[in-house]
């Protein structure tokens, strides 16, 4: 429930109402939500449309069902599966980050903001999106969509 004492509470309530009515709630990474799945989706969605990402995400999690499987895979296999999605640095960073998590966090996804932020290819918005989505942690997400909504609201 949203506290009504803040000056922006009506705006926040309007956004939540819109999401309840029109928001996408049945995407593959939203079902049986895991830090691994949300991380994959957030990286794949960087500068790429949702409809394009869905089949790549599904193939990726089928081939690499967890961090260790991704970390242990040859980079060439990761890049091959990424073919057509573009921005290949994202795939290299996913692979590198999975290896970091395998080696430094015993194959677990870290849950502290600074640890997530330190992963290759993860910025503040991506770290915030992962932790707020999976852990209900209060981190800001400032992507292109949020900027567009805020710019219209603040006019």
Catalytic residues: 42
Helix, strand, coil % over all residues of the chain, rounded to 5: 65, 0, 35
- In the chain the first and final C-alpha atoms are separated, in Å, by 27
Contact criterion met (CB below 8 Å) for 38 and 89 = no
Contact criterion met (CB below 8 Å) for 60 and 95 = no
Contact criterion met (CB below 8 Å) for 56 and 44 = yes
């Amino acid at each position: 429930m949203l506290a009504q004492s803040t000056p922006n509470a009506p705006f926040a309530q309007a956004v939540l109402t819109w999401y309840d009515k029109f928001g996408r709630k049945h995407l593959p990474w939203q079902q049986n939500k895991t830090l691994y799945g949300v991380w994959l989706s957030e990286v794949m969605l960087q500068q790429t449309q949702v409809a394009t990402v869905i089949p790549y995400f599904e193939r990726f999690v089928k081939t690499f069902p967890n961090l260790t499987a991704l970390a242990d895979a040859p980079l060439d296999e990761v890049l091959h599966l990424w073919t057509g999605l573009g921005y290949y640095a994202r795939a290299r960073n996913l692979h590198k980050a999975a290896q970091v998590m395998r080696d430094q966090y015993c194959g677990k996804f870290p849950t502290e903001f600074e640890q997530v932020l330190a992963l290759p290819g993860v910025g503040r918005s991506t770290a915030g999106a992962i932790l707020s989505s999976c852990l209900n942690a209060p981190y800001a997400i400032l992507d292109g969509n949020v900027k567009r909504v805020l710019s219209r609201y603040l006019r």
